[in-house]
Amino acid sequence: MKTNTESSPAAVRPLGREAMAAIRECVRPVIEERLVTRRGVAPLRREVLVCHGGACISCRAVPVADLMEAAIDQAGLADQARVVRVGCMGLCDAGPLVLVSPDGVYYPRVNEDLAGRIVKEHLSSGAVIEEEELSWEGPDGEMLRSREVPFFARQMKIALRNCGVIDPGSLEEYIAADGYAALEKVLFEMAPDQVLTELKRAGLRGRGGAGFPVGLKWQFVHDTQGDVKYVVCNADEGDPGAFMDRSILEGDPYSVVEAMTIAGRVVGSNQGYVYVRAEYPLAIERLDASLNSARSSGLLGKDILGSGFDFDLEIRIGAGAFVCGEETALMNSIEGKRGMPRPRPPFPAQKGLWKRPTLLNNVESWANISPILLRGAKWYSSIGTERSKGTKVFALAGAIRNTGLVEVPMGISLREVVEDLGGGIRSGRPFKAAQSGGPSGGCVPAAAADVAVDYESLQELGAIMGSGGLIVMDETTCMVELARFFMEFIVDESCGKCPPCRIGNRVMLSILERITKGEGQEDDLGLLERLGEHIQLSSLCGLGQTGPNPVLSTLRHFREEYETHVRERRCPAGQCRALLTYTIIEDLCNGCHVCAKACPVDAIGGEIKNVHLIDQEVCTHCGACLTACPTGAIEGK
């Protein structure tokens, strides 16, 4: 990725503490200016922050930034404005997203034409382009343009503090944003025991899904005897629709590098590994660049900052197996073995990589370490709930208006996330449920929308926090089909090592497939519950143990929907095609014959230019006609 500091001295010579202090003094005001809004005040220089997260790049953010740079030069504005390519800003649905700072004005869905107008109108004269399609509707119906948009205003960013703010390719900008200050503190001011005490008091729990206390895990590895220890980052993010870890690696890779170096110092490790799935090429590219820059700057490798401490990191690329998100399967993969889980105990803190004590946390957990050590445990523990401290990053997806990344304090209600940050249901239909935690999670029904989003509250509802995937659904979602979809995913991704997961989940899938085809039996629901509970108790790893969650939670909260499928052979949401009866609406049919050509069993008859009919005795309910009809004349009920 093209960076804004290509001639950065930090990239070509080792840094000392004095040099880093000088960088902070010189560059910090520039970074701080990006975080304020001074609309109506003519700044000395405007910065145009162009989101270069993966989603925005896929929407042509790179040519937009290139065009704006060229237009600024052509307009003679180089001394008044510059383009900064930053990480994910969060509102992926509006990409490519551009923020003009310090005016605090966002421009969504910027194409080349709008990019040119921003330079000519906004940057040249300070006149904001006030068009309704470039605004967001506020809670009172007013049109908003700035950081007061609820999606941005309601967030509290700790793990994502630098994403969308700094150039991820610039070590200088990271240092200016308090980067490596925590490492300095650990190297020269704090003993390992003090760091461990601070992390335990902060109450940070692992953000990978299980929620195990991070400080306690570090303590176990610290206390375990061993000449060689390892530090590992789990960036094998496999939940469908989840991209929290990917965005941190793309937008703020140094935060993970610094935190892992701190951990190495605390637990007594000199080598670490970042395990990233191959589907994240941009994250791998930026992480690799950050490792090279940190190494050449004396922040990785031998004698870091003259402290006598040695630590280095390597990237390991996984093939994309969902099971490798489980820590023991991940370690097998790093060792070059098939990604299959190991029995526990022994736990990784005792025997992990190559049977050595190993500390393993996920990306979001690592991203919280430096702020805690800089601002203190008391500050961090004041955020969130009594047992779930701090913030959580969620990937919002599904039927909502605003899809993307959000970071909110633990304890916020699900309703606030869906309605305020998510902007409500896009279709205007009623909110039905939210799937939390991906394929291993569970459904939270609309009736429980006021529940506090934390580990304990979600668990009581049969869901889990998971890594942070949050899929919002309206009334058109069939909960039986949703459970079938996730169970199909679990079956495909199972490593097959233990029978409960290999066989049990497949049996559950076959039952769900039978129900969605209208072949369900009265005792299927009880069988699903018994199977699910047995699989949870007897599977070897977290994949099998949590695999039945979507089925059990939907059965708990939407049992009547299952019963309708079984007893009435009907899908209330109209999603299970095998349970729909397809008919042709006479007033809309123009006799084009397209549906008849699409039907695989010749169930549709009629002359061209005359109304067609569907023979219900021949129809197999495949839905091909519904998809093919160009006039919307076919309906399924």
Q: Do 156 and 393 form a contact (C-beta atoms < 8 A)? A: no
Tell me the HSE value of 176 on the side-chain side, using a 13 A CA sphere: 21
The pLDDT score that the predictor gives to residue 10 is 42
Architecture of domain 391-474: Roll (3.10)
Question: In the numeric block, which tokens belong to residue 290?
Answer: 């950050």
pLDDT category at 143 given cuts 50, 70, 90 is low
**In the predicted model, is pLDDT for residue 55 greater than 80?**
yes
- Least confident interval from 207-211, 313-317, 385-389: 207-211
Looking up tokens 């921003």 gives 118
pLDDT tens digit string along 247-282?
999 999 999 999 999 999 999 999 999 999 999 999
pLDDT band at 467 (very low <50, low <70, confident <90, very high): confident
Query: What is the arithmetic mean of pLDDT over 434-439?
Result: 90
- Spatial CA neighbour of 343 closest among 359, 357, 327: 327
Class of domain 479-567: mainly alpha
- pLDDT exceeds 90 at position 38: no
Domain 178-379 identical in fold to domain 580-636: no
* pTM greater than the 0.75 cutoff: yes
DSSP state, residue 329: H
Quick check: 214 pLDDT over 90? Answer: yes
Mean pLDDT across the stretch 187-200? 97
- Mapping DSSP to helix (H, G, I), strand (E, B) and coil, where does residue 176 land? helix
Provide the sign of the torsion angle of the four alpha carbons 462, 467, 470, 471, taken in this order.
negative
Better pLDDT: 43 or 411? 411
3-state secondary structure 142-169: CEECCCCCHHHHCCCCCCCCCCCCCCCC
Largest alpha-carbon pair distance within the chain? 87
Q: Place 6 in a pLDDT band, splitting at 50, 70 and 90.
A: very low
CA distance 558 to 579: 18
Q: Which residues contact 412 (CB under 8 A, 6 or more apart)?
A: 452, 453
CATH for 9-153 (3.40.50.1970, 2.60.120.260, 3.40.30.10, 3.40.50.300): 3.40.30.10
**Which of the four pLDDT bands, split at 50, 70 and 90, describes residue 21?**
very high
Rounded to whole angstroms, how far apart are CA atoms 31 and 587?
62
Strands 230-235 and 143-144: unpaired
- pLDDT average, residue stretch 240-249: 90
Task: Output the average pLDDT for the chain.
Answer: 92
Tell me the pLDDT band of 140, cut-offs 50, 70 and 90.
Answer: low
Contacts of 92 (CB under 8 A, 6+ apart): 53, 55, 56, 403, 404, 405
φ and ψ at residue 32, rounded to 5 degrees? -65, -35
9 pLDDT higher than 70: no
Show Cβ contacts of residue 249 under 8 Å, excluding neighbours closer than 6 positions. 235, 256, 276, 280, 283, 284, 286, 287, 363
pLDDT digits (tens, 9 = 90+) for 381-412: 999 999 999 999 999 999 999 999 999 999 99
Token representation of residue 428: 């205007």
The answer to whether 364 and 248 are in contact (CB under 8 A) is yes
Query: pLDDT band at residue 46, thresholds of 50, 70 and 90?
Result: very high
> Can you tell me the mean pLDDT for 611-629?
90
Average pLDDT over residues 121-144: 78
- Please report, for residues 79, 412, 510, the alpha-carbon distance to residue 156 in angstroms, rounded to integers and kept in the order given: 33, 11, 43
Task: Tell me the CATH architecture of domain 580-636.
Answer: 2-Layer Sandwich (3.30)
Q: Residue 8: pLDDT band by 50, 70, 90 thresholds?
A: very low
For the chain, give every domain's residue range.
Answer: 9-153, 178-379, 391-474, 479-567, 580-636
- Euclidean distance between CA atoms 24 and 166, whole angstroms: 13
The CATH classification number of 178-379 equals 3.40.50.11540
And the tokens for 331? 């370690």
Average pLDDT over residues 302-317: 96
